Amino acid sequence: MTSSTEIIEVKNLSKYYERKIALSSLSFSIKKGELIALIGPSGAGKTTLLNTFATIVKPDEGRLVIAGIPSEKLTNRKTLAKKIGIIRQQFDLVGQLPVIHNVLSGRLADWGLIKSLVSLIIPQEKQAALKALERVGLADKFMEQTSKLSGGEQQRVALARLLLQSPEIILADEPVASLDPARAEDILSMLTKLAQEENQTLITSLHSVEYARKYFTRIIAIKNGEVFFDLPAEKVSDLLLSDLYQLKERSDNGES
């Protein structure tokens, strides 16, 4: 029986692209409030896995249950927005609009068309948006044109939008790849802190093992579409990581 604290259940999940196996019979479960980093070499299947959680990619085999609902039944936009929020490397913001409108777009799935259109003239739920901006340290920039903000600030706007959406699960595909190390750490520490404060489940793909260890509680390593290891962050050894990325030194007799 599924425990009530399980928010995602993956059972024998597979995805094929023509003859290529992107995900190969994955099975694991994720509890509410876990902070999970997905790591692994390029092409391992991390994005495909996140996209199946986002219901953008349909698995070919197996079972995926999200917040008690089989993923194939998560078709209602409003329900999906309550369950899953997505944060991307490219931020997905409308650059020409003031910051506040981008933050309020976190509520669009919940609002009807009329309220959404009215909000473009008279921002609806402005107080909630300002509060979210305050939490990400951008309260003073709420009327600024979004495209004029720095990359790190734009990612914070995306975090404020996520606060307004308030999903149970946050999926982030390489959310800091385009930021310099200081901004990347800033965003990751904010993202993990907000997720913890809101008791949200966070699943992030990362190329940086260092960030995965520093900010996340559990690391799931994917290789060739399979789970290579699934461990608490503090149990991930350098040896496992060099196996994962095949960083082994050549041995004395020349064999790799």
User: In the complex, what is the shortest distance from the CB of residue 160 to ligand ATP, in angstroms, rounded to a whole number?
Assistant: 26
Rule CB under 6 A: is residue 17 a binding residue for ligand ATP?
Answer: yes
User: In the complex, what is the shortest distance from the CB of residue 49 to ligand ATP, in angstroms, rounded to a whole number?
Assistant: 7
Dmax (CA) for the chain in angstroms is 73
Rule CB under 6 A: is residue 212 a binding residue for ligand ATP?
Answer: no
Rule CB under 6 A: is residue 22 a binding residue for ligand ATP?
Answer: yes
Return the range that interacts with ligand ATP (CB under 6 A); candidates 38-46, 67-75, 121-129, 213-221. Answer: 38-46
What one-character DSSP code corresponds to residue 140?
Answer: G
SS3 of residue 100 by DSSP: helix
Looking at the Cβ atoms of 96 and 246, the one nearer to ligand ATP is: 246
Number of residues that bind ligand ATP (CB under 6 A): 11
Return the range that interacts with ligand ATP (CB under 6 A); candidates 17-25, 29-37, 150-158, 248-256. Answer: 17-25
Rule CB under 6 A: is residue 175 a binding residue for ligand ATP?
Answer: no
In total, the chain counts a number of residues equal to 256
Element spanning 239, H or E: helix 238-244
Single out the residue of 131, 149, 40, 144 nearest to residue 91, CA to CA. 149
Single out the residue of 128, 180, 137, 179 nearest to residue 156, CA to CA. 137
Q: Between 42 and 71, how does the x/- string for binding to ligand ATP read (CB under 6 A)?
A: xxxxxxx-----------------------
Looking at the Cβ atoms of 194 and 227, the one nearer to ligand ATP is: 227
DSSP string, 158-219: HHHHHHHH--SEEEEESTTTTS-HHHHHHHHHHHHHHHHHTT-EEEEE-S-HHHHHHH-SEE
Which parts of this chain interact with ligand ATP (CB under 6 A)?
17, 20, 22, 40, 42-48
